[in-house]
Amino acid sequence: MTLDHSLVGVAGEPVARSWTSTDTILYALGVGAGAADPLAELEFTTENTEGVAQRVLPTFAVLAAQARGGRRRKLGDFDPARLLHAEQAFELHRPLPPAGEVTVTSTITGMYDKGKGALVTTSSVATTADGEPLVTAHGGIFVLGEGGFGGDPGVKDAWKLPDREPDHRVSYPTRPDQALLYRLSGDRNPLHADPAFAARGGYDRPILHGLCTYGFTGRALLHTLCGSDPARFHTMSGRFSRPVLPGQSLTVSIWVDGDGQVLFRTTTDDGTVVIDRGVATFS
């Protein structure tokens, strides 16, 4: 089992990506919008409510910038059950439309030696028909068992947990069937639904998608910092540190860190950190 290190720095073939109003509504439902109060987030969960224009949760940007389909490049020869989403960031250049079409170009930017595994990082840009960027996304996946090749371990960032209580805390429950709902937005990885596949990855049961946890976290940031206005939400980044089981509650702790920037961390019921080193910017 090996990674194909020759892919680093090579841009993939541009891929067409589109979504519909139904897709963005289904995504919002998949990350918990409307679950506690069906009337609270109608601009994200409906398209025909009187006096309410449909809007899109900012974290859908990550899906909009994904190059999906059979043209996606193979990273190497390894068991996909040993692959985990490690980190995710995006920048919104303008608010996302409820339905849209873009062209996505992705580049593998690094393969880093983390000892027990390898971190593979990517950068993707989604541009609209007028040639203007809509989303720039950066991601990383961790491949267990692919480290130890003597490569660059990567650079640690300067993120530091503030030595004070958070300025805001927001908690959301997830549903026991949350992963089954979220997977309808396109991520059909059996790690999140198939017990036998999850066991191959070392889990007692299927786990929640990291990007579902990311979407719950983004909702908390949007409603707390931006008055629920996606046009005020600009960037978000974080690292996935532990898996979440469907049905667990998520608490997002937020520290204001200067004008228009916050640090955040997401934990489960028992205090386990599941998204760490979070940074978001807004206006």
Catalytic residue status for 187: yes
Q: Which of 221, 248, 217, 243 is nearest to 232 (CA)?
A: 221
Q: Which of 93, 113, 130, 187 is catalytic?
A: 187
Which residue among the candidates 113, 192, 223, 257 is catalytic per the annotation?
192
DSSP-derived pairing of the beta strands 233-240 and 83-92? antiparallel
- The number of angstroms, rounded, from the C-alpha of 242 to the middle of its chain's C-alpha atoms is 14
Q: Within 169-237, where are the H helices?
A: 178-182, 195-200, 210-225
Backbone φ and ψ for 77, nearest 5 degrees, come out as -110, 100
Alpha helices (H) along the chain: 21-30, 42-45, 61-64, 178-182, 195-200, 210-225
Catalytic residues: 187, 192
